[in-house]
């Protein structure tokens, strides 16, 4: 059974269409589950059936409102991120700095105002990026880590965890960075940035003077990703460590 709605609507982005499609799928699943429940319990009283129908209506209304909020959030966050990109390209350094600062405040407000929505996470990711670029590594790392903890299955969560580790590395907190990268290895072994995370892990072991661990990780990269740029970089690092007697 498919809901009789237009899957792709005029004037909406692909992301917004995906939100609409996901909402429709949820509603469809709820209706099918309730229909199945009623079929299995043919003796359900008329009053119980009315309660079930009322419940379905409440859920559909709530999902529709959530879809509308997500669409509004998507449009707003897209505008902020677009303005941020334009500000970064400004030739005037003072104007660029002031504009980016103002946009950072807008992103922070979006994170708060759209709490619980996916676009709140998008705004948070963009805000963390601004903090990182301004060398506010502690704030950036906290924002990236908070995003990861909010929703580990969100598509930006793996990047957030890796970037949180990079922020810790920039701050000289190598042991903490290692802990986050080991966590990455636990959750995201199949992710496309997995080799980069392993390389960062080896690098932080080296920076933390744990040379045995660093050599082990570089060697693992060579074995896991043969004939790749990561394998070549790992070999170069191993050679440099050998020359330095480490």
Decide yes or no: CATH 1.25.40.10 for domain 148-246.
yes
Q: What pTM did the predictor assign?
A: 0.75
Q: Could you tell me what percent of the chain has a pLDDT over 90?
A: 54
Query: Which are the contacts of 119, defined by CB distance < 8 A and separation ≥ 6?
Result: 70, 73, 74, 76, 77, 110
**Which residues, 6+ apart, have CB-to-CB distance to 65 below 8 Å?**
none
User: Would you list the domain boundaries of the chain?
Assistant: 14-134, 148-246
Structure tokens at 4: 């009789």
d(Cα 183, Cα 100) in Å, to the nearest integer? 32
- Cβ neighbors of 51 (< 8 A, separation 6 or more) are none
Q: Could you report the per-residue pLDDT of 98-139, keeping only the tens digit for each?
A: 888 888 899 999 999 998 888 999 999 999 999 998 899 999
Task: Copy the structure tokens of residue 40.
Answer: 């299995």
Digit-coded pLDDT (tens) for 34-85: 666 666 655 456 666 677 777 777 887 787 888 888 889 889 999 998 888 8
């Amino acid at each position: 059974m498919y809901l009789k709605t237009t899957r792709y609507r005029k004037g909406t982005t692909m992301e917004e269409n995906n939100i609409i499609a996901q909402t429709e799928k949820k509603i469809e699943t709820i209706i099918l589950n309730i229909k199945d429940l009623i079929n299995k319990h043919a003796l359900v009283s008329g009053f119980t059936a009315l309660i079930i129908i009322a419940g379905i209506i409440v859920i559909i209304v709530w999902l529709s409102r959530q879809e509308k909020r997500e669409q509004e959030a998507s449009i707003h966050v897209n505008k902020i991120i677009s303005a941020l990109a334009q500000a970064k390209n400004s030739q005037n350094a003072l104007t660029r700095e002031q504009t980016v600062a103002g946009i950072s405040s807008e992103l922070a407000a979006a994170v708060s105002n759209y709490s619980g929505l996916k676009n709140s996470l998008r705004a948070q990711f963009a805000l963390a990026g601004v903090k990182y670029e301004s060398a506010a590594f502690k704030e950036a790392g906290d924002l990236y880590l908070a995003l990861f903890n909010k929703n580990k299955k969100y598509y930006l969560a793996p990047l957030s965890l890796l970037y949180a580790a990079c922020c810790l590395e920039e701050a000289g907190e190598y042991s903490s960075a290692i802990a986050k990268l080991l966590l990455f290895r636990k959750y995201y072994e199949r992710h496309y940035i997995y080799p980069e995370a392993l390389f960062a892990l080896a690098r932080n072991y080296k920076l933390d003077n744990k040379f045995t661990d660093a050599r082990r990780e570089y060697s693992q990269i060579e074995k896991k990703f043969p004939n790749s740029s990561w394998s070549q970089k790992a070999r170069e690092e191993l050679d440099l460590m050998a020359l330095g007697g480490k």
